[in-house]
Amino acid sequence: MTKPENGQIKAQVKESQIEQLIAQAKSQLNLFYLALSFFTRLPVPQSMHYSEILLNKANRYFSLVGLVTGLLLALIYVGFSSFLPVNIAVLLIMGVSLLLTGAFHEDGLADMADGIGGAFTREKRLSIMKDSRIGTYGAAALVMALLLKFTLLVELTQQDSNHLLLALILAASLSRAVAGSLISSMPYVTDDDLSKSKPLAQAQSSTELSILLLIGIAPLIFYASEVVFALLLVLLIFRWLFKQWLMDKIGGFTGDCLGAAQQISELLIYLTLVSFINKDILSGVIT
């Protein structure tokens, strides 16, 4: 075999490897678009390919969807705060957040509160969660969550607006990582035909979990080590307690439970950050 032939073979192999990398990149981008279309109202390319199997694999990008959402909210807040008082700008970005996500996670929180708070048997709790109407427990949980979120976000702006901007990005990504990680360690317990999370919540591989968590914790690089430790500790304790509570109440999780986990995790992140403001530990944030 001559040298030109060897060179031609090597070129073909290299070209094939490049084509494989491009195909893999397009496949992952398609999964991200699927996650984005499921969890937000943001537009995605019409060329996006859908199947239930692919949608289930898209759970690896839950936290990336949160990262995109958080970045958008941070940019919008910068725009609003340039000509509006802080409290009004915060209220407006909360409204924008609801529009971006279609209040998807807030709806899950309300439904879970209604189901678990308003019944004493597993079957009845699951039945109530499927009801699109909101009850007293759901309304109370939703109002309290929104009021607390508004108060905490305004508090984060008092020292430096950079704290709020980074908090929006961190909370959006890390809270979704916490919620999404529940898929890997709990059984799915709802009617497939009525499930809001179908087929996203069916399974999660170790690779998908790793990608989810790595993206979720990425914004922590901007925080001091004390803050990072406190945040992770709080969220790990919450995840363990929430998992045990769900197993006791319904024997697993539903799509509504994932939404509730995201909302509660987000609030816990804001609470933890606010708790460090007076200690001046958030000075570790890059400004």
Dihedral (CA of 230, 181, 165, 263) sign: negative
Q: What is the 3-state secondary structure (H, E, C) of 222-270?
A: HCCHHHHHHHHHHHHHHHHHHHHHHHHHCCCECHHHHHHHHHHHHHHHH
Q: What average pLDDT does this structure show over 111-121?
A: 93
- Does position 191 have pLDDT exceeding 70, yes or no? no
Report the C-alpha gap between 223 and 128 in whole angstroms: 41
Q: What average pLDDT does this structure show over 142-167?
A: 93
pLDDT of residue 283: 47
pLDDT of residue 286: 44
User: 215 vs 60, 172, 205, 211, 268, CA distance in Å?
Assistant: 9, 11, 16, 6, 19
Q: What average pLDDT does this structure show over 82-101?
A: 97
Report the C-alpha gap between 76 and 83 in whole angstroms: 12
pLDDT of residue 158: 85
Q: What average pLDDT does this structure show over 25-48?
A: 93
- Does position 2 have pLDDT exceeding 70, yes or no? no
Mean model confidence pLDDT for the chain: 89
- Does position 47 have pLDDT exceeding 80, yes or no? yes
pLDDT of residue 131: 87
Q: What average pLDDT does this structure show over 172-195?
A: 85
Over residues 223-254, the pLDDT tens digits come to: 999 999 999 999 999 999 999 999 999 999 99
Q: Hunting for tokens 């279609």 — which residue is that?
A: 102
pLDDT band of residue 277 (cuts 50, 70, 90) is confident
Q: Are 263 and 103 in contact (CB under 8 A)?
A: no
